[in-house]
Structure 1
Amino acid sequence: MKTFIKLSILLLFNCSYYAVAQTNFGPRLTAMGNNGAAVKDIWSTEANAAGITGINLPTIALNYTKYLLDNELSKQAISFVLPLKNNFLGVSFQRYGITQYNEIKGGLAIAKKFGDNLSLSLKGNYHQISIANYGATTALSVDVGAMYKLNEQLTFGFYINNPAVQKYGSNQVQKIIPTVFHLGSAYYATDKLLLASTLSKDLHAGIDFSLGIDYKIIDLISLRAGLSVKPFKHYAGFGINYRKLMVDFAVENDPNLNYNPQIALAYAF
């Protein structure tokens, strides 16, 4: 009975807030309010994939998110970016859920720089949902993205998740793959202060707006904070960069899932 109740709660949550399981922006972008439209990061593989053009060395990152609502509920993710001159290859994988219900998403992204200012990306995704006693269903989707550097201070970004409105192939699982339009900006006020914002529109939901900040106290340590308005959430975190090793931590306050901490380790080869 306990397992049935747990599974029912998780399924109900996913019906209303399906986007949570579909994205994992990593602690840096999460701490900045999930601002991944115009900020370049190793976890741009799960946001605007055009952002992987900011990775200069082959880099791998591992992420773990714990949902305090339930002891079993968690999310694991991995991201890898390989720069090849003006071309960039990104690979991502994540798993979300519990033993009785889990979602898997794998992605392969290709991004290219056109000069010093413009970057474009295309990403293919594989989705899978597994439910105890119901089996599994799969789907494919595509994301497209772009970033444009206006000057040394200001960058604009735009990307679309699932513009083809692909769906899962099983009638037993009534769950959609979100189609979301994102438009954002990143403003480097100084070499230590980054301000980012994103406006998002889901075809099946209202408009969301997020705002984030990344402040580098010293070369090794950064403090971050952010918020989003629909639903209202606030975020905080920090990052430590030591040579080629990066450690990032974030906490998201979700009105449905309470406080959700996550940590990631990244290494540049």
Structure 2
Amino acid sequence: MIRLLAFGLFCLIIDLSAHAQNGNYGMGARSAAIGGSSITIGDEWSLFNNIGGLANFDKKAIFTSFKNKYGISEVTSLALGATYPIAGGTAGLGVFKFGDDLYNEQRVNLGFSNQFGIVSLGLNVSYYQLSIEGSGSRKTMMIDFGGRAKLTDQLYFGAHVSNLNQAKLSTVTDERISTIMKTGLSYRPSLDLMINAEVEKIVDQDAVLKIGLEYQILEQLSLRTGFHTHPFESSFGLGFRPGKLKADYAYNNNPDLGGIHEISLGYSFGE
């Protein structure tokens, strides 16, 4: 009982600090290290961050990520994914879980993205389940839509809407999963430097500004940093690319609640 009360109090603090997991299922240490400003990035983690960018990752791959918030096991996140080039685009299957036996959110998403000239567009369909000990579980379907455009050789644009269909968790209370809208730009003056700016908006909440920078200091090593507002969190991390293997680490610091660690691994098959 004490454990349940303590966890409930912590969840309340997290919610008041705008850290509620419900509606926000972005993952990947690369994204976390640049303050979450990944809307214009076309890699395997586009399956979770902006399905419109997945067409720019035309490889068979498997990948996973583990995130721990503030050193508390009850608020960990785990994601698994796989991509496969098909029908002129790229398809992806992802699994996400947050929480423990007392409270957890699970999501399975199937996405596809295709390239149309300078624009790539994608659609994600997800099965979502929320489980709370003593209150049962709730299930629903979610739809995400996103796009990415290469405006020039140095400038990229991205936009994404998560839970486009405003999925309901309860028909009695009309409780819904948050709908999140994101848009941003990326400036890449050279092959080894990327500067991102992004705005995220949830209805009835303040807009969040995200700024990130990635610098490839060696062929296989990248350094990253960034921040986002509401609440303010600074971040840094690094990425290592030895051949077909990818390894990324990110650390986010919340001045009030502490640190968030995330580690991601991935492997690409074929050339």
Structures share fold, TM-score greater than 0.5: yes
Contact preservation (8 Å) 2:156, 2:187? yes
Question: Could you tell me how far apart the structure 2 residues matched to 1:19 and 1:52 are?
Answer: 26
Q: Which stretches of structure 1, 4 residues or longer, exceed 6 Å deviation after superposition?
A: none
Q: Residue 164 of structure 1: SS of its match in structure 2?
A: coil
Matched, 1:95 2:97: yes
CA contact (8 A) 1:94 1:105 kept: yes
Equivalent runs, 1:131-210 vs 2, <5 Å: 131-169=132-170, 171=172, 176-210=176-210
- The answer to whether the 8 Å contact 1:199/1:209 transfers is yes
In 1, Cα distance between equivalents of 2:14 and 2:100: 13
Whether 1:66 aligns to 2:51 is no
* Equivalent residue, structure 2, for 1:215: 215
Deviation at residue 40 of structure 1 after TM alignment = 1.4
Q: Find the aligned partners of 1:38 and 1:268 in 2 and give their Cα distance.
A: 21
Aligned-residue offset at 1:41: 1.9
The residue matched to 2:218 in structure 1 has which SS? coil
What is the identity, as a one-letter code, of the residue corresponding to 2:115? K
**1:110-149 matches, cutoff 5 A:** 110-115=112-117, 117-149=118-150
Quote the residue 1:51 is aligned against: 53
Counterpart Cα distance in 1 of 2:178 and 2:26? 14
Higher deviation after alignment, 68-77 or 48-57: 68-77
What code does the residue aligned with 1:43 have?
W
Aligned equivalents of 1:85 and 1:194: distance in 2?
30
TM-aligned CA distance change 1:95 to 1:13, over 3 Å: farther
**Aligned-pair distance for 1:10?**
4.4
In structure 2, C-alpha distance between the alignment counterparts of 1:71 and 1:182, rounded to whole Å: 29
Cα distance, 1:19–1:38 mapped onto 2, change above 3 Å: farther
Question: In the aligned structure 2, how far is the partner of 1:223 from the partner of 1:203?
Answer: 33
Determine if contact 1:224/1:237 at 8 Å carries over to the other structure: yes
Identity of aligned residues (%): 26
Distance 1:61 1:228 in 2: 25
The match for 2:237 is 237
Q: Structure 1 length as normaliser, TM-score?
A: 0.92
8 A contact 1:138–1:168 mirrored in 2: yes
- 1 CA distance for matches of 2:212 and 2:60? 27
Query: 1:246 & 1:258 partners in 2: Cα distance?
Result: 27
Shift of 1:163: 2.4
- Which whole-Å CA distance do the structure 1 matches of 2:171 and 2:136 have between them? 10
Confirm or deny: 8 A CA contact 1:139 1:169 kept in the other structure. no
Q: Which amino acid counterpart does residue 232 of structure 2 have in structure 1?
A: F
- Aligned to 1:189, what secondary structure does the other structure show? strand
Find the aligned partners of 1:215 and 1:20 in 2 and give their Cα distance: 29
Quote the Cα distance in structure 1 between the aligned partners of 2:142 and 2:255: 29
Runs of 5+ in structure 2 lacking a partner? none
Structure-1 separation of matches of 2:6 and 2:77: 16
Q: Distance in 2 between matches of 1:206 and 1:76?
A: 27
1:237-261, Cα deviation, whole Å (9 max, x unpaired): 1000010000000011235542010
- In 2: Cα distance, 1:246 partner to 1:61 partner: 9
Indicate the SS of the match to 2:225: strand
**What is the CA deviation profile of residues 201-232 of structure 1, one whole-angstrom value per residue up to 9, with x for unaligned ones?**
11121111100011001011000011111111
The answer to whether the 8 Å contact 2:58/2:90 transfers is no
Aligned to 1:77: 79
